[in-house]
Amino acid sequence: MVTDLMKALEKYFNRYLVNDRGSSPKTIETYRYAFIQLVDYLESQKHIKPEYIKVNDINVNNIEDFLLWLEKEKHVSISTRNQRLAAFKCFASFLKYERPEYIATATQIQGIVSKKHQTKEITYLKPEGMRLLISQADRSTVNGRRDYTMMCLLFLTGIRVSELVNLRGRDVSMESPKTLVVHGKGNKIRHVAIVKQLSDILGPYLNEHKSLLPCNLDKPVFMNHSGNKFTRQGINFMLSKYAKSARKINPEIVPEDCSPHKIRHSTAMALVEQGTDLIIIRDLLGHTSVQTTEIYAKVSTARRRSAIEASSKQLVDEEKPLWEDNTGLKEWLKGLTNKKLM
């Protein structure tokens, strides 16, 4: 049975998020799981069968109860709780546009406040730690040169791992001014300079793999051993391998949980420590607001204060839910991207 909610969600996921919002596949997937969880909650706690859930049931009372249930019963983090809320607030924006009769309900949903959580300490690699990490790649081998190039590119540009794996030959210009065309969050494009140090590393790699030949312009710049585009998991595995090796030499300067995002933090902190304007750092990292970038400046100030007070050295630079077998709305949600409403 096709309900009004199913019709609304079909437009929300397949048209509104994709075309109007330009949401990334990762965001769409996260929002989809939020609704799967909500449907599960309404069925188990409110005793509303999935096939009878309507748009009217997506209201402020049910959402607030659901969020409380997530925290108390499922023990999710504040971050996860806020992610789920973001999915419903976005749906409320869609309802205002698509179903004007729900404007009052949608406005109430958008008024639900996100919870604040304690800011986690930003951990990052100082330049000496970064040098030790990238030195673990064996540049006498093809894969070693590839890994070395990827790590240097991550650090010298601050791009996200998703932006790295999506780089194509046509996104790289080695003619002056040398730049990368980076496809960021929400399909936003920005241009990132290829500095001389990176050019000296990236240039030979591109020549070795003939990445800039016309026949290769649409292929990924970095491919795994199978000749396919790298995955985020593949990059994480690669970094973990080199971090483990580096920590055998000096565990004090290379964190155990080394990740692409930690390298991104390292880039930002290095620039802050060098006195780079926050606006420039914001544009480089692709932040929407400079407030996000200010986090690094605050960390830098706090660390400098601690360094002075301690007379220490100067600083330089959820799992997918396992749903029981269900039919109807939940199954439809899980297969939403693969089928159309009849």
Q: Which residues are catalytic?
A: 160, 185, 261, 264, 287, 296
95, 59 Cβ separation under 8 angstroms:
no
CB 273 within 8 A of CB 300: yes
Place of tokens 């509303």: 48
Query: Peptide bond before 214: cis, by omega within 30 degrees of 0?
Result: no
Residue 282 φ then ψ, to 5°: -55, -50
Mind giving me the DSSP string for 44-91?
Answer: HTS---GGG--GGGSSHHHHHHHHHHHHHTS---HHHHHHHHHHHHHH
* 190 close to 287: Cβ distance less than 8 angstroms: no
φ and ψ at residue 183, rounded to 5 degrees: -95, 100
**What angle, rounded to 10 degrees, do the helices at 127-134 and 260-273 form?**
140
The answer to whether 211 touches 167, Cβ cutoff 8 Å, is no
Give the span between the Cα atoms of 302 and 311, in whole angstroms: 14
Q: Taking CA 97 as the corner, what is the angle to CA 92 and CA 103, rounded to the nearest 5 degrees?
A: 55
CA of 239: how far to CAs of 28, 135, 141, 235, 286, in Å? 27, 12, 17, 6, 23
Q: How far apart are the first and last CA of the chain?
A: 10
How many residues would you count in the chain?
342
Q: Phi/psi of residue 210, each to 5°?
A: 50, 40
